[in-house]
Amino acid sequence: MQKMLSYVRRAVDHYHMIDEGDRVAVGVSGGKDSLTLLTTLAKLRAFYPKRFEVVAITLEMGYENMDFAPVQTLCDALEVEYIRIPTQIKQVVFDIRQEQNPCALCAKLRRGALHEAALRAGCKKVALGHHFDDVVETYMLSLFYEGRISCFQPVTYLDRSGVTLIRPLLYTPEYLVRAFAGRHALPVVHNPCPADGSTKRQEIKDLLKTLEQTMPGLRERIFGAIQRYPLKGWQPDRTRTPKRP
């Protein structure tokens, strides 16, 4: 727990993600990333010098046989309010629109629904579970498939909605998230999306894994380049980036 908290606090402090009195909504999909983020923010809340509250929000996508009751149990143990929002996103994307490349539309619909739910819950900040590896993969996706040098920002203010997005896991490598979720028996909910595991992101993930066999530390160097470029919203970090096993 202490190691995970150190990564999260490092990101929160470096990019000034949390202010006194914030009410932070955590988007909880039920995956390892969002559950790890929820758990660490709930623990950080207890001793962080700036007082803040944590609220968990799950968008129920419309898939059958997704049981979020164990997530409710986790939230009860963490003393975190848990809000579940029924949606028809699955039906819109796959049944009505029958999207061949569904990820973009799905993400757009989820963002809108999550931001609206957060504001209704009194939260002007939304924490997302993007981790260190997500940063690198998003950068590479933009470069390879869009021809742009771009990546999401650690902190993003959305002036149309008044919501600020924060990404407290951005210094945390995926292998640590996976280990944390297993060690703490987090109630991971299986993702039934038919596009899961067959996306462009998965292709980039596989490519980076192959390249790192002959170029160890490649992800760390890419991450450092993102901070030094600079890209909007990113700042160089003088501490060491996480080393992979």
What is the per-residue DSSP string for 54-104?
EEEEEEE-S-SS---HHHHHHHHHHT-EEEEEE--HHIIIIIIS--SSTHH
Q: Which residues pair with 223 in a beta bridge?
A: none
**Residue 115 scores a pLDDT above 70:** yes
pLDDT > 70 in the chain, percent: 92
Prior bond to 230 cis, omega within 30? Answer: yes
pLDDT, tens digit, for every residue of 60-85? 877 777 889 999 999 999 999 999 99
Note the Cα 42 to chain centre separation in Å: 15
pTM above 0.95, yes or no: no
